[in-house]
Amino acid sequence: MNYTAILSDDYAAILDVAQISPVHGFDGRAEYDFFFGEELPTDAVIWEDGDYAIADVGYDSPTVMLFHQGSVVGFYFDMMAWLDAEHRGRGLATKMIFAYADRFGGNAFADQRAKAGCALGFSPEGYDLHERALQLARDLARAAAPKGAPVP
C-alpha cells in the first residue's frame, strides 16, 4: 500500500496546526447517515480482508468507506474517520487512512491542507489516530529503506 501521502508535508502541516478538542467529535451515523446506504463497488475496492473491505465510492470529494459483509460500517472523509462502535479497536480506522492515501496518491491531503490554513479541528481520538497512522507510515518507510537512508 502506498503511504507516501501520510509522510507528506501536507499531512504534517495539518497536524502541526490542528485544533484538538472534544467539541470536534461527531457521530457519523447521525451526521452522515446518507453514507450508510452505499453499496460496495466491487470495481473500486482498495483493501479487503475477510468480511471487511475498503472502497472508493466515487464521491466528488475523496472518500473511502469501510464495509463489513457488504454494509457500510465506517468512512474516512475530509480527515474525519468514523467507525461503528462494534468495529473499533481492530486497526480499521488506520487502514482507512492508508487506503485513502493509496487511492488518492501523494497529494491526497493537499485540499485538506489548504482548508487547514486556519486549522482543522480534531477530537483527541481523531488526532491520536492520525498521529498513529503517521508513526506507522514512518515505521514502514524505515523498514523498506536501504540501510542508512533518511526517512521522513
User: Is residue 23 in some structural domain?
Assistant: yes
pLDDT of residue 74: 98
Domain assignment present for residue 139? The answer is: yes
Residue 70 lies in a domain: yes
Predicted model pTM: 0.92
- The 10s digit of each residue's pLDDT in 77-103 is 999 999 999 999 999 999 999 999 999
> HEC profile for the chain?
CCCHHHHCHHHHHHHHCCEECHHHCCCHHHHCHHHHHCCCCHHHEEEEECCEEEEECCCCCCEEEEEECCEEEEEEECCEEEECHHHCCCCHHHHHHHHHHHHHCCCCCHHHHHHHHHCCEECHHHHHHHHHHHHHHHHHHHHHCCCCCCCC
pLDDT of res. 145: 81
Residue at 91 is within a domain: yes
- Asked if residue 130 is part of any domain, the answer here is yes
Identify the domain containing residue 19 by its residue range. 4-144
What pLDDT, on the 0 to 100 scale, is given for residue 2?
Answer: 83
Indicate the number of domains in the chain: 1
Q: Specify the pLDDT at position 151.
A: 64
Q: In terms of pLDDT, which residue wins out, 60 or 72?
A: 72
With respect to residue 150, please indicate whether it lies within any of the assigned structural domains: no
Return the pLDDT at 144: 86
Predicted confidence at residue 88, as pLDDT, reads 96
